[in-house]
Amino acid sequence: MDIDKLFKVPKLPTGGNKRRMPDAPTPEMLKRFKPEAELSANKAPPPSDGGSSAKGKSRAATVRDEEEEEEESSRDFAPGNDADYFAEEDDEGRFFGGGLTGEQKTIMNIFDSAVGEGVQEDLEDLTITGIRRILLRFERAVNKNQDQRSKYPDDPTKFIDSEADLDSSTKAMFPLAQKPVLAYPEIVKSGTLAMLVGLLSHENVDIVIDAVEVIDEFTDEEVGNEGEDDDGQDEEARDAALKTLIAGLLDQSILELLVDNLPRFNETEELDRQGVFHILGIFENILGFNPQLATRLISQTAILKWLLQRIEAKTHDENRGYASEILAILLQDNRENRLALCKANGVENMLTVLSQYRRRDPKDADEAEFMENVFDALCSALGEPEAKRLFLDAEGVDLMVLMMKEKKESASRSIKVLDYSMSGPAGTKSCETFVEALGLKTLFTALMGKPSKKQKGTSASPASEDTAHVLGILSSLFTNLASESPARIRLLAKFVENNYEKVDKLLEIREQAQSRIRVVEAEIEAEKKALLDEGEEIGEAETDRWYLSRLDGGQFTLQTVDYILAWVCMEDDGIRDHLVQMLTRKGKSLKDVVEVLKSFRDNIGDETETAESSDDVSPPQREILSGLINFLEKC
């Protein structure tokens, strides 16, 4: 007898995702394991006629009395024979039902009878006494199951009742998430948390999934927000309780145990697929609470290898999308994890995944989000010089240029990736490869805002975001391409053709950025006045915050545009004359450009990125800005 198959039953509704299990055991199979006392209690009196029993069974399957038909019709009042279809409603009156068919409800009723009564009494009373009763029942169920499994390892009929009791007792802990301040310290102090984590090593995968679901519920960021009174626990108390719980989980090596369980699940089965989903949910919850744990998760487990394999799956599903999201989270602002990705050949892996979107768009919104997550993960990795080298060696620049030319949904994201790969001194060779791959034509088409017929009707990213990354690429090209090189001459020629239309476009973008900045400046002045009226001093923190607001509000775009304009002015007299003429028409001059560049230079951050070889070394950007400013001041 296969005990794992025996417990492939629908999960009890927990308020989260409803789930259904295929290959559920038949009611007749489970009835064989009901307690004998209850079977005898529920058994009807034997018929007076010794041979009528079999006939009665046959008749029940084919003939119905009027009373039986009325009783049956009263039960079949909802889709799928779901008795909870109209009972389970949310605050807005919508109904969902328990998600169980009539057959599945019969199975669950057998389990309810097998494990006894009294659970609901505890769930309705979430005082400290009620919480302890729930924990005590769970501990007893764990101990009883362990004892019977050790005594009868080869005879599932001996421990099936304890397994069902353990299943029920584990699920009974879900409501404890409603009272984290009371429940979580008690869970840790009593040793229940260690027993719960211990279930992750249980022989029955269904019990493992029960434990995973409970831990996912306990670590949710919204824990304790439901069911609280207006004067209930404050956010600080909930955070402290959650911190205690997560610390206890980490002491029990929760991250390693969860990752070790991932290969145990067969995602062709719905229940196992949901188990993987909840494990990824626990990772997201823990990382959201403490992002510093991302390094520990990568360095002490095999999660990175599993994530890379999972996103390479040929068919798309919810877990593939979730895996891409976790991967992007782990790589965000974390150099150690990015280097680990490089060692695991992750850059080439992600390029392989993204190549499928060169000539086709994602099939739906979920797959589009998956594609976006992989692009974001790749961009995060490209913050490191080592990743840029691997990206170049894997012909990532060529692939991104091809994606730009195809004008699919991936075109916008490919521009973003190129911006990241070509920035900084380590991006010099990528800049040269970009020009050699004939990327300039497509880049300037994107700058001028001339979508092709293929692009019409697609849900590409906003033009403003594309423009920002196009400007970033142009800035990197002027910074990294060697003077008098063929690639740089081809770049300058683009600004001359068609009567300097690219210069005019840059001036148009500049004017739009200045309009946005004026709005932000008005908001900052109003905030300054309010602070001064209240007698508060304006400190360094406020000044830095306002500078960041200006950058987000258009200052960064303005700085990048003026940086590009300064380069083309210095390298081509015709472009400079045209630029001065256009600025004069708007009542401006090169002095306005100089002022922007001075602000840019004075606020530029420390340039810590180093190239991998001396061939990639370019002058620091602050030095470049000083040279551009000196030239423009002499014009």
pLDDT of residue 608: 46
In DSSP notation, 9-69 reads -PPPP-SS-----SSPPPHHHHHTTS-HHHHHHHSPPPPSSTTHHHHHHHHHHH---HHHH
Please give the average per-residue pLDDT across 9-17, as a whole number: 39
* Residue 104: band (very low, low, confident or very high) from pLDDT cuts 50, 70, 90: low
Judge whether residue 254 has pLDDT over 80.
Answer: yes
Paired with 95 in beta bridges are 89
Of 66 and 484, more confident: 484
What pLDDT digit, counting tens, does each position of 500-538 carry?
999 999 999 999 999 999 999 999 999 988 888 888 888
pLDDT of residue 31: 43
* Residue 110: band (very low, low, confident or very high) from pLDDT cuts 50, 70, 90: low
What pLDDT digit, counting tens, does each position of 176-213 carry?
999 999 999 999 999 999 999 999 999 999 999 999 99
Cβ(350)–Cβ(310) under 8 Å? no
Q: Measure Cα distances from 12 to 87, 98, 356 in Å.
A: 15, 8, 39
Cβ(301)–Cβ(346) under 8 Å? no
pLDDT of residue 136: 95
Judge whether residue 630 has pLDDT over 60.
Answer: yes
Judge whether residue 571 has pLDDT over 60.
Answer: yes
pLDDT of residue 18: 35
Place of tokens 């911190």: 243
pLDDT of residue 400: 97
Please give the average per-residue pLDDT across 298-324, as a whole number: 96
Structure tokens at 219: 């670590």
* Residue 378: band (very low, low, confident or very high) from pLDDT cuts 50, 70, 90: very high
Instruction: Report the Cα 427 to chain-centroid distance in Å.
Output: 28
- Mean pLDDT, the chain, rounded, equals 81
What pLDDT digit, counting tens, does each position of 131-154 carry?
999 999 999 999 999 999 898 888
Weakest mean pLDDT among 96-105, 535-544, 577-586: 96-105
Reduced to 3 states, what is the DSSP secondary structure of residue 95? Answer: strand
Gap between the terminal Cα atoms of the chain: 90
pLDDT of residue 48: 41
Structure tokens at 210: 């029960």
Please give the torsion angle defined by the CA atoms of residues 118, 122, 124 and 128, in that order, rounded to the nearest 10 degrees.
170
Q: For the chain, how big is the Rg over CA atoms in Å?
A: 33
Paired with 89 in beta bridges are 95
What is the pTM for the complete model shown?
Answer: 0.77
Judge whether residue 81 has pLDDT over 70.
Answer: no
- The rounded distance, in Å, linking the Cα atoms of 216 and 525 is 46
Judge whether residue 95 has pLDDT over 70.
Answer: no
What pLDDT digit, counting tens, does each position of 332-358 carry?
999 999 999 999 999 999 999 999 999
